[in-house]
């Protein structure tokens, strides 16, 4: 196991951040090399990356497994659409309201759920999220528009826009002072938010606050008898991660101005758990890597249909091709979650530290000592006899 | 007793505790003098650890009071509030943070001492906390653990985990340090090293309550000894008085040579 919190130098942190920014901003370039060079998919990388980075601050650092973070995603989306409807198509107030409201929502749910720990905490968060989902789906229809989903309409008040004489032209899309956030403009707005989110996460990883969160995960009893009250620390982490989820939900609604209740369902909460673990729980880069990996493979596998399969196996004799199609069929298209399940199992069994651990092993294998000594893992490797 | 009440750091008055039908503590009265090392000895199951647990908020006594710094610790005080008031404890099973480095293990309690039970500044960098970094490094150097302070604490031997936990308590400069068998399970030379260390701390005037089975440790450190048997204090006095006490010999020491 490697040390999560390292007293890294200022220069090293700065270079980490700069490399991250460079990788994110050049995404359209490297994306096109792996067949992901279009804004819709890159946006998903950024949005789910943010969701997972924030989730990791709770689950990765404190070890508290929340099964209800999709609720904050949903709140972020609804608030954003309402901001579009009532105030303006400008995304700045929309994002700010989404983050604030999801933070308040997380404060309430966190305050109640954190009265318990372990499995009981997880169940409480799951219960709250499912309650939110059901409320959004039925009872709160006036606010959420239930099954149909909340969307921006032409005759919405949009007080600020009307006061400024801005009229809605064409389909309603998020707007940043005149720039319509669609296509690559949308991606770069999400990318800017991702960079901001990553920067904050890096700061927390390097702070005494982050170290205390890991200490709570490591030995909560000791923490209490050392003079700390763990509850407000956990609640802070919960609210921060809830705000990340709210921001991610807001970006979803900005790039596609529609908010539906299914965004709050427990499967969405489960997905972020998978992303975080798949990439590397408690690591700086793991969650975003996990999010991008899952969204990338989802994009590839869910697009494969019967036709594609038949073409792929066309070179085989007909009887063999038929068998191959029958075998592979359940793993693609609608059934891509089966592939995800297999992928997840393989990684957890052979690399419990996630993809990040895989990269560490590779760098040790090929880069020898030099590469290994640059990773924080090397420090603790020295301690293992 | 000749001392006025003001010289007592901790006063335990009439404490009772039962577990089901078992009387774990019965009418315990104990005063811990400032700057002294007070040892509590007694056979297994005598209630020694239970008594310490009532002092740190882990257990609430059925009746009686435990006064520390003018506050009654039994009146719904949380463990962290008791620590903030000035009581640190070394547990029987070492309680450290295995996932953090040795240095970070010592920094955590220093933060508790400086910033209180909660402080929120996620934008401050750990490397900027030079005061606490230096304090922790110096203490670890003093304890001979300075080398490899960046290693995982989880990989330490049991004896070293105990020493680390002691360091975690010492960095808080507690008004009262509670030690639950600080040398149990240690090899002889580790035990001697710990005794040397505790003697050094003794000179600093820190008040300590120590539970210990090893009579060698007890008699080389304690200023005063209380003997606990079946939940009651059967004798109290200086080490010499205890050595010669007939009731103690009978209840605890048996025929063993001291």
pLDDT band at A3; cut points 50, 70, 90: low
d(C-alpha B28, C-alpha B23), whole Å = 12
Residue A375 has a pLDDT of: 36
Contact: B124, A9; criterion CB under 8 Å: no
The Cα of B246 is separated from the nearest Cα of chain A by a number of Å equal to: 38
Residue B70 has a pLDDT of: 86
Phi, psi of B237 (to 5 degrees): 170, -170
Contact: B120, A236; criterion CB under 8 Å: yes
The Cα of A381 is separated from the nearest Cα of chain B by a number of Å equal to: 9
- A310 touches B: beta carbon within 8 Å: no
- A229 touches B: beta carbon within 8 Å: yes
Listed by start position, the domains of chain A span 10-265
Contact: A227, B148; criterion CB under 8 Å: no
Contact: B95, A232; criterion CB under 8 Å: no
- B93 touches A: beta carbon within 8 Å: no
Residue A311 has a pLDDT of: 86
Residue A384 has a pLDDT of: 26
Q: Residue B258: is its pLDDT beyond 60? A: no
Residue A4 has a pLDDT of: 62
d(C-alpha A76, C-alpha A259), whole Å = 9
* Total beta-carbon pairs less than 8 A apart between chain A and chain B: 131
CATH class of B5-253: alpha beta
Contact: B108, A3; criterion CB under 8 Å: no
**Average pLDDT of the residues of chain A:** 89
Range in A267-271, B130-134, B244-248 with the lowest mean pLDDT: B244-248
Q: What is the signed CA dihedral for A16, A21, A23, A24, rounded to 10 degrees?
A: 140
Minimum CA–CA partner of B129 in chain A: A208
In A166-205, the residues whose Cβ lies within 8 Å of chain B are 200, 203-204
- The better pLDDT of the pair A215, A340 is held by A215
Residue A318 has a pLDDT of: 87
The Cα of B114 is separated from the nearest Cα of chain A by a number of Å equal to: 10
In tens, the pLDDT along A43-102 reads 999 999 999 999 999 999 999 999 999 999 999 999 999 999 999 999 999 999 999 999
Q: Residue A266: is its pLDDT beyond 70? A: yes
pLDDT band at B6; cut points 50, 70, 90: low
Contact: B152, A209; criterion CB under 8 Å: no
Residue A271 has a pLDDT of: 94
Residue A103 has a pLDDT of: 98
- B85 touches A: beta carbon within 8 Å: no
Residue B4 has a pLDDT of: 46
- A383 touches B: beta carbon within 8 Å: yes
Q: Residue B252: is its pLDDT beyond 70? A: no
d(C-alpha A138, C-alpha A130), whole Å = 12
């Amino acid at each position: 196991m490697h040390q999560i919190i390292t007293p890294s130098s200022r220069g090293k942190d700065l270079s980490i951040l700069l490399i991250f920014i460079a990788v994110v901003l050049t995404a359209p370039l490297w994306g096109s090399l792996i067949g992901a060079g279009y804004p819709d998919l890159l946006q998903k990388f950024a949005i789910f990356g943010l969701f997972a980075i924030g989730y990791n601050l709770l689950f990765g650092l404190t070890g508290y497994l929340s099964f209800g973070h999709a609720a904050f995603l949903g709140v972020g989306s609804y608030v954003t659409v309402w901001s579009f409807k009532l105030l303006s198509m400008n995304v700045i107030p929309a994002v700010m309201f989404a983050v604030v409201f999801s933070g308040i929502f997380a404060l309430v749910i966190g305050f109640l759920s954190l009265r318990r720990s372990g499995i009981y905490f997880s169940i409480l968060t799951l219960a709250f999220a499912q309650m939110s989902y059901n409320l959004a789906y039925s009872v709160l229809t006036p606010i959420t528009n239930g099954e149909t989903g909340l969307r921006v309409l032409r005759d919405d008040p949009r007080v600020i826009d009307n006061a400024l004489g801005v009229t809605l032209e064409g389909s309603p899309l998020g707007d940043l002072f005149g720039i319509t956030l669609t296509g690559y403009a949308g991606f770069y707005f999400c990318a800017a938010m991702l960079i901001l989110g990553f920067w904050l996460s890096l700061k927390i990883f390097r702070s005494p606050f982050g170290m205390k969160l890991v200490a709570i995960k490591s030995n909560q009893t000791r923490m209490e008898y050392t003079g700390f009250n763990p509850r407000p620390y956990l609640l802070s982490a919960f609210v921060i991660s809830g705000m990340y989820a709210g921001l991610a939900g807001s970006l979803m609604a900005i790039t596609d101005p529609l908010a539906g209740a299914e965004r709050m369902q427990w499967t969405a909460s489960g997905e972020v758990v998978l992303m975080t673990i798949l990439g590397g729980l408690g690591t700086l880069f793991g969650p975003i890597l996990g999010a991008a990996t899952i969204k990338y493979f989802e994009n590839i596998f869910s697009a494969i249909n019967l036709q594609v399969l038949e073409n792929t196996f066309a070179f085989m004799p007909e009887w063999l091709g038929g068998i191959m199609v029958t075998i592979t069929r359940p793993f693609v298209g609608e059934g891509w979650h089966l592939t995800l399940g297999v992928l997840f199992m393989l990684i957890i069994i052979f690399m419990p530290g996630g993809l990040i651990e895989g990269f560490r092993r590779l760098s040790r294998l090929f880069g020898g000592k030099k590469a290994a000594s640059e990773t924080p893992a090397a420090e603790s490797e020295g301690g293992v006899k | 007793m000749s001392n006025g009440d003001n010289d007592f750091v901790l006063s335990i008055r009439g404490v009772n505790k039962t577990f089901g039908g078992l009387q774990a503590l019965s009418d315990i009265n104990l005063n811990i003098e400032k700057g002294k090392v007070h040892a509590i000895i007694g056979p297994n199951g005598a209630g020694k650890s239970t008594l310490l647990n009532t002092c740190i908020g882990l257990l609430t006594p059925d009746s009686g009071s435990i006064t520390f710094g003018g506050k009654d610790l039994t009146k719904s005080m949380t463990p962290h509030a008791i620590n903030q008031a000035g009581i640190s404890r070394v547990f029987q099973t070492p309680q450290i943070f295995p996932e953090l480095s040795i240095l970070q293990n010592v920094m955590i309690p220093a933060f508790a001492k400086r910033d209180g039970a909660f402080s929120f500044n996620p934008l401050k960098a750990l490397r900027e906390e030079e005061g606490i970094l230096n304090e922790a490094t110096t203490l670890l150097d003093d304890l001979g653990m300075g080398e490899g302070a960046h290693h995982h604490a989880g990989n330490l031997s049991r004896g070293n985990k105990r020493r680390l936990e002691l360091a975690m308590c010492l960095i808080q400069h507690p008004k009262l340090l509670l030690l639950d068998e600080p040398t149990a399970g240690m090899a002889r030379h580790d035990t001697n090293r710990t005794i040397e260390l505790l003697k050094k701390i003794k000179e600093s005037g820190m008040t300590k309550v120590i539970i210990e089975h090893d009579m060698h440790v007890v008699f080389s450190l304690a200023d005063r000894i209380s003997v606990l048997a079946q939940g009651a204090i059967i004798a109290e006095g200086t080490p010499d008085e205890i050595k010669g006490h007939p009731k103690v010999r009978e209840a605890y020491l048996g025929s063993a040579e001291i």
